[in-house]
Structure 1
């Protein structure tokens, strides 16, 4: 168009060339007439990235000899290699972070980290049936109330800023527990902050979870406005975005309910059989970089059925290949720890060929104290000698070195970060132990593979992987996601928890209680007894008649707190620092299939909550029992979960 007239000729408007994606005659040939890039050829890499496909090897021949090994379908994902996603409230979808992460980001990224964490939990609540409002149900409830019958109402979350001018009204708030500069406890969301009074608050269910500053919780109570602030409006730090005058009297406090993995992904039948889409969810999002559930999940389940489940069904008594052996805190500066490890490895070295465990997870702290903080070169030399002793122990089991993958997860006392922390809490996520100290262990694996005529590069030989804390273990793409995390989180929860009022009396069969599987085995049961799977069946006599041991209640309380938060570090930055740009590895959303939580301050347990198997092996040396070693064995894909095992050495 020129001068209000449509020109004819090569630049005229026609049906043939109006939407043609051809390069313009400008200097920038990468753009088209519509401002889009030319679609000359769509490669498989481009399409895979768009639809959550993975490069796990789907185009390879499944009958290949190298693909018959279960370890070929396993991938260890470090915290700094995991994709970073943020939740877009407007689109109600997850988007990849466009900015490049940094260990020294601007201060605004701290606010972004809190905003994204709040939005993830908020959208998870809105997907819960208890927070959904139906038009038909509302009209029916109105008619029942007019007739004199009680009806169940859905919950509604009120933003903190909307409390202004609503003195004496009842509300439910969703926000983070914070401590004000004055020392008072408050709750904060994206709209503002208000002082809390929890002197009369009761946890729902009672004593089922921890509540500490830094957690995002649900609080039901009444807003009480101060008399001197009535009619003065907004001023200073009060109002939207600041601290609101008055206080919120909380009567009930609880954790935001957890969401099952299959509900998050929008797919049912994840345990095998026919796959059915149940609508909604984030099934097309590739959270780990190994392929999305909708794209590669069905085919990966067929591969898992062929490699893992069919051999196990043919001979149920034989040890399966798909086992993960988890050894807790391994202090190399204690000779008894190496003796216990040698005994555990000798038990699995006697398994038939082809039935040995596929993975061994060894967690730190690898030293009792932060030896790197002593100064000088003595600490680093001594630290390397500890790993050299570990290499000598592993060299006695060449069959395990050639058929399994050994994964090492560091702790707070390991190098290099302990050189300046002195063993205190370090920022998460943290990098693996440097190769300078682990070179001899890698040479032991290389020598064992060379002697057997194998190589770790082609996927046939064993290997040692030094990963971050936390990290992910993916098996068969998105089918199995195992989170590896080392932290004494139980002791930190007890130190910083908020004291609440306890109920005077509670019904024995409260339907709000969550039924979990058994935790640490009781003295009357063998230590290798299989754990039960949790469900909401109140007919279980264990939950109604027999009082549960203290260790079992402690394990359930810890697991519910962590999974309901959906975050591995629900504390204040002063207690557990977190790198603001690397919070994605700390999320437990979607809920993983298994969580390995190595916590020496909590009892050893293996429980199941909302379909997620949570295991804690504790320390390899059992406290108070000399000559006893403890570890956890997790069978992948069997539905049994993990079990705590013990042996004498």
Structure 2
């Protein structure tokens, strides 16, 4: 039986038909059967690379930690967070597989990630939550094959410059084909770039190249982690309109910083002998160790009437108008009728300050425990005000901690009894940590900061531009440091810090003669004075810090205390000064060869930071009338009896006298009666602020703060120097715990009709010796 054959279907015509030629040549229209055509083979050099398959594994972060520590910390001076370590472990386990250890694949991946991080980001702490690490890993993912990094073109713009094509890598060089790459370079053209640190140091021979001004709104925010006992970078971006809970966090962070600082003090350390290890929980609810002070939480006072305790808390005002002490566990009424301050007449105590109070607890059975929440937090029960009162015997500030004890350094002196610095790897200002960059910066500073040459920063405040005598005093200051072009080796100051208020009256506050037009004219007059000294402007940096009378906050505050920090003066009023700087640079550097950095002007916030050589030196600058606020809000203690001796001596203070005509006497050999009142005031102001580790230790009702930016007023770690431009305080320079505290006073030293016209007063600070001097000329 036969079946009819179905007609064959015509073969499918390919979509990409070969077009026919003109009819004259008779080229057939029929398609060419692709089965009869020999396949077109690509040259070997154009073959796409064959990607080897990798079986992913689950790599625990703890297993990768030793290798990551050697690569990031030991080799590149970087610190890995737990989130970054988890991200790297997941990436290496997915793309390197089981050969991550035996074949050395993970080490090469970590090496390239570390190089890319330092080149793109520059931060010491490698974070895994941000976009920077994700971007680096995404670029590295496209450059890997078989667990190896074979193409660096995706890692940066240098990848487009490739030399020596590799047959196995589509014309791009691979790590295997370039084994002689230096460990400090990356891929591609980066091997030709100047990345040697020694060569970079040779190019930057001017100390001004190593100086940086950090505004309050540019300063990174670090949050103290109580469980890890370390500072973490805040995950939320600071805002001028934060959540209400951030108001409580402001005081919590202040308490945590002071508390951890106290616990590391040698006075609160447990003895190392064996008898101290048998400490037991006493009836006071705290660890009783012989020879060591112990802080008792306020909540543990309940039921322990008549016992003596040492409390750490913030002085507050209760709703009834009496003093109270608050910590993270509760609040208790404070009775300071018989208390004595330590030291006597040497410091200030005011609400808002965190203090140590030694005294006895008395429980009042008729006063039920209140349930209101405390200032520092806590809700209900323990978190409220407990009954009774705490009778204080003595009140003192927390002990101050030196900068070397917090960060370390080449000249570190172990005084904290812990065998090393507390936060040597922490980058508080974004300029590097002491352990990572400190040795290199010390080496550079020793080369550039020589003893044969002065390296000064000039500081002047209360530059009232609407007062003619102030401009005359400014001319006197600038004339003192101006040099002619014919001088062989002129010495110019590194920076000149001019601080407000730049107007004696509140600007833009409907005050006659203080409108926007007049305010602009005042800065034009300042530009005219600066233009008279082009050589000085071309060799220094001008830093201008506003005050409460300056725009724009003065428009609604009318000269009252504005919330800190506050932004710089708007560019609308500063164009003429910027033009004067440009003209001075063009006049001085236009025809000649540059021997250093050009002059510049920096309009910064209040407060702000001035750093030099990374973490080696730091100056905190604040324009605020702190002394008057302390006088108005401080607590008055009863005078002690004459036969009572002071049993606690404060840390000695070094005082630099304003006058240099006579040798400075030994401050330790002087009694309280021999020291003048201005020096005593300067010492009390200095000890109060540095012990509190804060520039504004007041309640928000006394000194408003932006909640999310209150960290910019911290004095922890202790800076190298602090400038408090206080018009109500005398001009002084005091050194306490290695920190130089300065107040230049008003620049106009004529003091109205009593003085001479053109007399100027300012502070001259040497960054090499960390010594300041109050100078007067004219």
**TM interval, short-chain normalised:** 0.7 to 0.9
TM superposition shift of 1:460: 2.1
Deviates most, 384-393 or 192-201: 192-201
Aligned partner of 1:626 in structure 2 is 755
Out of 441, 451, 474, the position equivalent to 1:341 is: 474
Distance 2:539 2:372 in 1: 66
Range 102-111 or range 451-460, more displaced: 451-460
Taking the aligned partners of 1:219 and 1:331, their CA distance within structure 2 comes to: 43
List per-residue Cα deviations over 1:318-360 (Å, max 9, x = no partner).
Answer: xx34100111211111000000000111011138544111110
Corresponding position of 1:612 = 739
Matched, 1:77 2:218: no
Alignment of 1:227-238 (within 5 A): 227-229=365-367
Go from structure 1 to structure 2 and tell me whether the alpha carbon gap of 1:450 and 1:278 turns closer, same or farther (over 3 Å shift).
Answer: farther
How many Å separate the matches in 1 of 2:604 and 2:657?
Answer: 28
Do 2:438 and 2:616's aligned partners in 1 also have CA atoms closer than 8 Å? Answer: yes
Cα deviation, 1:225-261, whole Å, max 9, x if unaligned, reads 11224xx778676631111111111111000010000
Q: Could you say if the C-alpha distance between residues 140 and 529 of structure 1 is closer, same or farther in structure 2, counting changes exceeding 3 Å?
A: farther
Q: 1:465 to 1:235 in 2, by over 3 A?
A: closer
**Unpaired segments of 5 or more residues in structure 2?**
1-53, 66-86, 97-105, 128-193, 280-288, 374-379
Q: Which residue of 1 aligns with 2:363?
A: 225
Partner of 1:287: 428
What is the DSSP-based 3-state SS (H/G/I as helix, E as strand, rest coil) of the residue aligned with 1:372? coil
After TM superposition, list the pairs within 5 Å mapping 1:12-51 onto structure 2.
Answer: 32=91, 41-44=112-115, 46=117, 48-51=122-125
Aligned with 2:620 (options 459, 470, 483): 483
Structure 1 SS opposite 2:537: helix
**Match for residue 772 of structure 2?**
642
Q: In the alignment, does 2:707 pair up with 1:580?
A: yes
2:349 is aligned, of 196, 211, 228, to 211
Q: In the alignment, which of 677, 684, 700 is matched to residue 557 of structure 1?
A: 684
Q: CA RMSD in A?
A: 3.5
- Of the three residues 222, 231, 252, the one matched with 1:115 is 252
The answer as to 2:730 corresponding to 1:603 is yes
In 1, are the aligned partners of 2:425 and 2:436 still within 8 Å (CA)? Answer: yes
| CA–CA separation in structure 1 for the residues paired with 2:445 and 2:340 | 46
The residue number in structure 2 matching 1:249 is 391
CA contact 1:52–1:286 (8 Å) conserved in 2: no
Name the residue aligned to 1:264: 406
Residue 517 of structure 1, CA deviation? 1.7
Q: Does the Cα contact within 8 Å between 2:482 and 2:535 map onto a contact in 1?
A: yes
Taking the aligned partners of 1:482 and 1:458, their CA distance within structure 2 comes to: 26
**Shift, 1:267, TM fit:** 3.6
Pick the aligned partner of 1:364 from 500, 520, 529: 500
TM-score (norm 2): 0.71
Q: Please give the secondary structure, in 1, of the residue aligned with 2:235.
A: coil
Q: How does 1:282-361 map to 2 (within 5 A)?
A: 282-309=423-450, 312=451, 315=452, 320-350=453-483, 353-361=489-497
Give the alignment partner of residue 670 of structure 2, picking from 529, 535, 542. Answer: 542
Q: Give the aligned length.
A: 596
- Residue 459 of structure 1, CA deviation: 6.7
Structure with higher RCO (Cα < 8 A, 6+ apart):
1
Using structure 1 for the length normalisation, give the TM-score.
0.84
Answer yes or no: is the 8 Å Cα contact 2:124–2:432 preserved in 1. no
* 1:61 Cα offset (Å): 4.6
Residue pair 1:402, 1:452 contacting (<8 A) in 2 also: yes
Q: CA deviation at 1:204?
A: 1.1
Structure 2: distance between partners of 1:29 and 1:45: 14
